[in-house]
Structures are given as C-alpha cells and as structure tokens.
Structure 1
Amino acid sequence: MTTYRCTTTLLAALSTAVVVGALLPMTPASAVSPSPAAPLDWTACGPEGQGQECAKLTVPLDYRDPAGEQIALAVTRIRSTRPEARRGTLMMIPGGPGGSGVERLTQKGPRLAQETGGAYDLVAFDPRGVGGSTRANCRLDAADRLMVTLRSWPAADGRVDENIARSRRTAEACARNGGAILDSLTTANQVRDLDRLRRALGERRLSAWGTSYGAYVAAQYAQKFPHRTDRIVLDSSADPDPKRVAQGWMRDMAKGAEDRFPDFAAWAAHADRGGLRLAERPEDVRPLFLALAARLDREPVPSTTPGVAVDGNVLRQALQNALYSDGAFSSMARLIKAAQDPAAGTDPTRRPVLPPALTGPLGDEDAAITVGVICNDVRWTGTVADYRTAVAADRTAHPLTAGMPANITPCTFWKTPASAEEPTRLTSDGPSDILMIQNRRDPATPHSSGLKMRAALGDRARLVTVERGGHGVYLGNGNACGDATVTRFLLTGERPERDTTCP
C-alpha cells in the first residue's frame, strides 16, 4: 500500500501573487478566503448509453476578488455504477495548454471506468479559455493561426525575421483584444479552479490522472493542496523548472523528435509496408526525409487542400504530429510518398493529402489559449539576437526540427498581466501518493525531462518507464505492464517499491 511521508508544512493556501507593475497594493489570491462553491446542476449529455452528465461550474475571473466577475467552466462526469466499490472522484486533466477535459472524458472515460471497476466517479472540465468554458479572443489574422505559424518554424534559409514580426504582431493583438479573461489563463488559476470543483463535488480529497501539460497541472495541485490529494498519476511529464516552464518544454521538443524518429524509420523500412515502404534500411529514412524537406523548401507542391502547399515546414510539422502515435505512421509515409511524386505538381489526383490539423487555421479562441497560458505563466528570457543565435545552433544540432523549438514566440513581446505570479516550485514535501509513467521515446516530453520531474518530487513519487515511443502512456499505447501498474495504483494505492521499467 502507499506509504506517506510526514511534512511539517502543508501548503493549504495558494502561492502569493507577484504583482507586476501595479500602482496600488493588491490582495494576493492566497490571502483571500475561498468563496463557497455552489452545487452543480447535472444534465445528461454525451454519447447515448455512456452515462455521461454535464454541468457548469462558476468560478471567479480573478481569485483576488472572489465576489467579483464570475466565469463559467464546462464540467462533465461519468458516475460510478457500483456504490459499494466507489472510493472517490478521479479527475482527468487534459494536455495542452488548450486540451478539452470534456472531450477527453468522452473519449477515454468508458475505458477508464472499465479499468477501475466503478471505484471512482470520473470527472473532467474544460479549463478556462477552452471548449465549453468562458473563452478569450485575440482577433488574430487567419495566417497567424496556422499550425506552422503558431509554431515558429524558421524560413528555409534559417532566417527568423518573419517569426519576429509575427510574434510581435500576435502579442500586440492579444494585449489589445484579449482582456481580463486572457490575462487569467494561467496554470495557477487552473489549479484553483480544480480545487473549487472539488468543493462543488463535495469531495474531501481528489485523485487525478494528468497527461502531458495536465501532468504539470496535477503536480502543481499536489504541491499547493497536498492535503486534498488521494492518488495522483502523472502521465508524460515535462521539466517543471519554474524559471523556464513552457520555454523549456518547447526546447525539449528537439531532443524528443531525435529520440522518437528511429521508431518511424524502423516502421517505414519494414518489408511488410508494401507501397508505403520508404527505404530498405532504417538508417536511410532520415536522410531521405531531410532531403525531401529541403527540396520542398525550394519547390513546394500543392496539396489536395485548395490554397495550401506542402513546403518543408509543413512536412516537418506533419512529422512532429505523426511522432505522437504509431497509428499516424502510415499517413505520414503516404504524405512523404506523395510529396516525392514528380507528378504531384501537375496532376491533381496525385497531390499529397494533409492531416486535418494542417489544412487550415485554428479558431481564434483556440489560438488564444495556446499562447495565453504559456506566455502568462512565466516571462520568456532572451533577446531577439539570442534567438537568432539559438536557432542557428539548434538547426545544426537537430535538423529534424530545423530550429523551431529554439525560436522566438509571442511570449518575448508579451504584456505581463498585473496579476502575474511566479510559478510554484515542485518539491518533495507532501504525501507519497504520486505515480509517474513515461515512455522512453516521447517526442513532446522526452524521458530526460520526465526524470527532472521525478527528481523534483523526490520520495513523493515513483517512476514507471515504458520501453515504447509516443506521447501519452496509460490506456494509450497498448503496454499491458504500464496499464496494469497504473490501474493497480488507482485501485489499491500500491506503487512499485522503487522506480521500475516495463518492457
């Protein structure tokens, strides 16, 4: 069973807000007594027969003024059908920033309910700024909301002038149009909202399964409300260094792609791939991909989506997306094959088919959340000259990502909200109720970054390393050992005595 460490200090309050540029003293959010959370009014929703319910949770726009303007968060749950087996509530916390908890519960809830045998009510919510919750809008031009522009891919020759101009333009538009709701999009507020939801549910403690960015949110909740946690699963964690946070996560993507690409290369060189086989040997796939990306930098080819061409950066972004899951390898190989076809430029029937994420711009509200949280959480360091130098070095060290992870973003020019707070440092203080699980070859949160989360948590956590590739582990990649270890922890509290590995 889970053992607990005693600690002399339990962080019952939220961290003190660091007020930047305020003219008058302001009451920190941590000093405000929490206002009551009204009970939730549940109605049936979701796929028929799934037993899903939905509600709206009211939370303060600004926790320093709990009686002030309120916003609404979309909440959903699947209740346990076995009252005799129920032990509490398990929160599903999505990744992102920008992931929808409502969608995640709809997709994963039935499988999780089956795994846990009715031990939990399964609950999730759309964080502020996401899905059915109150949202922000920066009014960005459509061209600035494409995946390959929200991600700062340098020009074909490595120049970043266009990235600099776009980042400045995006930051200025968000400062002009985003308002108080955009300023409130922070990890700290998501953690506060999570605890308010706990109180609305009438729960003394919460269990949680957080994935990717959601793992960081869950870890922050465990740090700020250790006495409110039961069993916490951190799936695919990133480096929690409070000085870097999202800037460090972006930099890590270069290593993540290098760690993961050999899995795609081995798949694409396998003799059973038929018409999708890219090379006879895995070691030949990488030079083939890099040569094709360089050619598309010079000579883009039209895709089946009108007005959208496949250039080198579109191909590179498609690869980043595909590395998340083995299930996307076939569509990536098909895209490469089509882009190689000499007839692609002249015969519309031979044009490459792009994945949906690359066929058009994100919605403006979706774009706002993707930049809002990462820029509000911590000030990004570096001058424009620093980014030019970093991109040049990163392009040489990691050609698969061509300098994008080291490039400038709107955060460099971001107007820091008056309510800005320093990110909370994760420590080993608190109960030993955390289980981490991490793929060995993760393109977004590399295993080496997960080890930094593990080190920060000390004896509070145990780490299960799964010898697989991809992003997202539990109930995600078919590893029976990893799934069984997490399920056993959720049901019994039992963790491995020490960090362990699943083959």
Structure 2
Amino acid sequence: MSLTGRPLAAAAVATVLALGLSGCSLLDGNGNGGGSDAPAPASATPQTPPTGAEALGKYYGQKLSWTKCPGGQCANLTVPLSYDDPQGQTIKVKVLKVPATRKKNRLGSLVVNPGGPGGSGIDYAQAADFIVGKPVRQRYDIVGFDPRGVGRSEPINCLDDRQLDSFLGEDPTPDTPTEEQSFAQTAKSFAEACKTHAGPLLAHVSTVDAAKDMDILRAALGDPKLNYLGKSYGTFLGATYADLFPKTVGQFVLDGVVPPDLTSEEINQGQAAGFEVATRAWAKNCVDEGDCPLGSSVDDVMQGMRDFLKGLDANPIPSGDAHVPQLTEGWGSLGIAAAMYDQGSWGILTDALRAAVQNRDGRQLMSLANTYADRTDTGRYTGNIMEVIYAVNCLDKPDTANLKVYEKQAKEFTASAPTWGPFLAWSSLPCGYWPVKATGETKKITAAGSGPIVVVGTTRDPATPYEWSVRLNNELANSSLITYNGDGHTAYTRSNACVDDAIDNYYVKKQVPRDGLKC
C-alpha cells in the first residue's frame, strides 16, 4: 500500500509511546480525564452553514454535549452519510477535547490530525502535552476527531485479524507472471471484502467528506474560523478544507505535505524516492556507528538491504509470532519502513537487522512491523488504518487494474529508488479493483482568500518528500514555508527549537513565519 498513510500516524504514536503514554482506548471508561473534572458546557451559539449549503443547517446548528472521558472530554458530532442527501442517513463522528491549561487566556480550539489516512485524531489529541508546544497547549483546547470510517467513527473493517496478517505478509514486489496474478487476486479479494463489510459508508469516506465534517465540527465548537494542525495526510485534509472553505481558515499549519494535485503514480514515485533517501541516511549512520550488519559502505549497505529483502521473499525467517510464524518480505519491509519515520529508531533497526542476518531471528524486525501496523505482539490490531487507508485513497485517487502499468512503473521507480521502487510501484493495485468509483480529483489548490497558512517541510522526510512542501507552498495564494534540514517524518515538536518557536508564535502571537525560514 502507499506508505503515505500508515506511518503518518505511526510516527506520532511512536513518539507518544517513547514518552511512556498509555496506548489504551480513550472511550473504555478507564483512566483519568484531562483538564477540568466537570464536563464542559455545550458549545457556543449555533452557527449557520456556508452560502449554498443551507440544507445542512441542522448540522451546523448542533450543540456538542461533552462528557468526561479518559484523556479529556468526549462528544459525538452528527454529520450526513452523504452530503448529496443531507436529509438522509446520518453517522456519528467521535471527538475528544483536551481543554486549554490557561482558560482565562484561551484563544479557541485547535483541531489536529496526525495523518494516515486512518490515523486517530482522538489518540493524537490525547497526547496534547507532546504534540504542540507549551504556549499553544496553554491557550488552545486541543481537539481531535476520528474521521468517518476511522477508529471510533463508524470504522471500516474489511478483514479479520488473521486475514489482515495474511494480506500484509503477501509478496509486495511480484516479479514473475505467476506472482503478479497472485498479488492481483489478493488485491481484488481485499477490495471485495471491503465492499461486503463496509456497506454504504464505503462510498462516503473521501477526503472531501472528511473536510466537510471538519467545518461542521468548527461550527459545533463555536469557532468562527478553524485553527488546525495537520501532519502528513493531515496536510491533504487541511489543504482540501482550505480549498472548500478559504474564508474560515484560521491559524493553519501543514507539516509534511501531500499536495492534492499529485496523481497516485506521482505519490508512489515520490515516496519511493523519499524512502530511498531516508534509508541511505540510516545506512550512513549504520556505517558510522561501526559493525553494520549489511556492509561497510553506504552503497554496500543499500545493496545488502535489497539482498536481505530478496532473501526473505525466497526464504522467510522465524518471526517469533504465534500468528505470523514467518517474517516474509512484506512484513520485513514494513518493519524497515517503520524505522524510517524517526531517526530515534535507527539503532533499533540496526540491531533488528543484525539479529535477522546473523542469527535468522526475525523477532525484533517483526516488532517494528507491528508498530507500523498498529498490531500488538499477541496479534490484535488496535486500529483499522491498514484497511481504511485504501478506502480513502481509492476514493481520492483513481487507479487501474492493468498489470502492465504496474510493471512499467516498477521499472521506472527502480531506476531512481532501487530499494523501495518496486514496493511502492505495486502499492495501489487494490484501488484498481475498488468497488466504488473514485470521487476525488487531482487539482491544484490555491485557497485564494484564506488567512496565512504555514507549510513545513523536512529535507530527508521519507513519507512526504521535502519537494512536496515546496510545491504546495508555491501553489497556495497565502502561505509561508519553514524548512527543517533533518531526518524523519514531519518537524513540529520532534525536531528543534527553531521550528517549534516559529510555529508556537504563529499560533499564539499570530506572527507569520518569514517565508523561506530555514531551521
């Protein structure tokens, strides 16, 4: 699958786990709530829908009923299943609010999205103390929601846990006609399973749908404008919102950009190049640290990585997992990818590869893969990101079932990204068989008339290459770009004070960073 999705949230989750926070459900009735012990009052005065959307009046006029829950205060937002039929079926979107720590100087709500598609905004908001700077935490209520189809909001589940194990373990780089046909059948079966189990919702989980939900959320929160922090896919969601509702764009930060005018092929090719760059950065670190298990130079290590993955394809190694006893190329690739999102995981990856190469012990690499897939060591999936990523992407970006197209792309991608090119080239095949016609369009977004938007790019970001941030900044009518010269996925609150101070001042003091700021 496209790596645009999963890791986005994975990077955030990995950071939270590293800080020792609980990963348990927020809505299970256990644990301590954040902020005030008393439930917050209902939202402020009901708001009217934007011009031309008068039929949505009952949604824009709703008041959220907040109740105490683990991590903060929770509510249900009612939205239409189909925006083409607002009087028809409705669905519930789960929302979590972590109140500002200085209510006297409160500036409003800050809605956050960690990426995906499929990352839980509720889980992300629970980590409010770590995902925004202290000045922002003091002045804003941090609000997260699980987008429709995700997590606690009418979740789409296509496969059971064991079926998903098999799907993720499939050979991701078919290189013979037989392997291609097997991969195609797997992709087709997955698409059919989503149609069977997701029902009518499958046609209504596009990014445009989620962006429209987000404006109803803004109104229900009582905010005249939407203040927003979107990371990775969350930037696609944020840019889509800005295109639909430019006049209600408040303080907006888009960190680790996915430009809406990229095609599915361009996304996959860009990610292949991005992961290649990130993996070479890890390889240099591995060599510099000494005793690198894959070689003594960067080029040797990269070739060693490719040989290792090819070896897993032909001869998987024991994983130590009761349900996935063999570490296949599919699982091994996910484990390696997971470590690319944060350079703090590089040493873990090196140790995992040493055990795998020298002792045929895949336990550590399987553990990394589990973090990527939101899967516990006992084989239980704690979220549905590995399924909903397709449900959203396949609606947003049409693709083909023509295997010759993927063969051609695999060759082209491999020329510039020999390690990750084949993996990413085949990643969108399920969308070629998707049972619902794509509704999204590839379009350049200017968001003319919006407030100033801050775009952030990291020079060696694996999942959202730096060039994508430059691209969106050039396209937006009113934006400024912060460049972080570093490794890992996204920058705010995980890189350095230069980035953090600039964004904190933007949110709190309304100081727009100088376009071209380098950190």
Q: Same fold (TM over 0.5)?
A: yes
Whether contact under 8 Å (1:139, 1:364) holds in the other structure is: no
Counterparts in 2 of 1:397 and 1:146: CA distance versus 1, 3 Å? farther
Deviations 1:334-365 (A, max 9, x none): 22111112x437xx9x9865322466585795
Aligned residues: 461
Paired position in structure 1 for 2:396: 377
The CA distance in 2 between the partners of 1:387 and 1:155, in whole Å, is 10
Question: 1:18-97 to 2 correspondence within 5 Å?
Answer: 32-36=55-59, 37-47=61-71, 52-97=72-117
The CA distance in 2 between the partners of 1:431 and 1:302, in whole Å, is 54
Once the 2 structures are TM-superposed, how far is the Cα of residue 378 of structure 1 from its aligned partner? 2.9
Question: 1:34-433 to 2 correspondence within 5 Å?
Answer: 34-36=57-59, 37-47=61-71, 52-109=72-129, 112=132, 114-116=134-136, 118-139=138-159, 142-144=162-164, 148=168, 153-155=172-174, 159-241=179-261, 244=263, 246-271=264-289, 279-306=295-322, 307-341=324-358, 343-344=359-360, 354-355=367-368, 356-357=370-371, 360=379, 362=381, 365-381=384-400, 383-407=402-426, 408-417=428-437, 420-422=439-441, 425-427=444-446, 429-433=448-452
Once the 2 structures are TM-superposed, how far is the Cα of residue 141 of structure 1 from its aligned partner? 8.0
For 1:294, the aligned partner's letter is K
Once the 2 structures are TM-superposed, how far is the Cα of residue 46 of structure 1 from its aligned partner? 2.3
Deviations 1:241-262 (A, max 9, x none): 16x2x55323321011122122
For 1:116, the aligned partner's letter is V
Q: 2:435 is paired with a residue of what secondary structure?
A: coil
Whether contact under 8 Å (1:42, 1:54) holds in the other structure is: yes
Counterparts in 2 of 1:229 and 1:374: CA distance versus 1, 3 Å? same
Q: Which runs of 5+ in 2 are unaligned?
A: 1-48
For 2:272, the aligned partner's letter is A
Q: Which runs of 5+ in 1 are unaligned?
A: 1-10, 15-29
Q: 1:84 is paired with a residue of what secondary structure?
A: helix
Rg: which structure is higher?
Answer: 1
The CA distance in 1 between the partners of 2:474 and 2:333, in whole Å, is 32
For 2:411, the aligned partner's letter is A
For 1:183, the aligned partner's letter is A
For 2:281, the aligned partner's letter is D
Q: 2:360 is paired with a residue of what secondary structure?
A: helix
Alignment partner of 2:492 out of 474, 479, 497: 474
Counterparts in 2 of 1:144 and 1:251: CA distance versus 1, 3 Å? farther
Whether contact under 8 Å (1:377, 1:422) holds in the other structure is: yes
Q: 2:104 is paired with a residue of what secondary structure?
A: coil
Once the 2 structures are TM-superposed, how far is the Cα of residue 218 of structure 1 from its aligned partner? 1.0
RMSD, matched Cα: 2.9
The CA distance in 2 between the partners of 1:277 and 1:108, in whole Å, is 38
Of residues 105-114 and 256-265 in structure 1, the stretch that sits farther from structure 2 once superposed is 105-114
Whether contact under 8 Å (1:304, 1:354) holds in the other structure is: no
Q: Which structure has more RCO (C-alpha within 8 Å, separation ≥ 6)?
A: 1
Once the 2 structures are TM-superposed, how far is the Cα of residue 83 of structure 1 from its aligned partner? 3.4
TM-score by length of 1: 0.83
For 1:484, the aligned partner's letter is D
Counterparts in 2 of 1:240 and 1:145: CA distance versus 1, 3 Å? farther
The CA distance in 2 between the partners of 1:57 and 1:423, in whole Å, is 29
TM-score by length of 2: 0.81
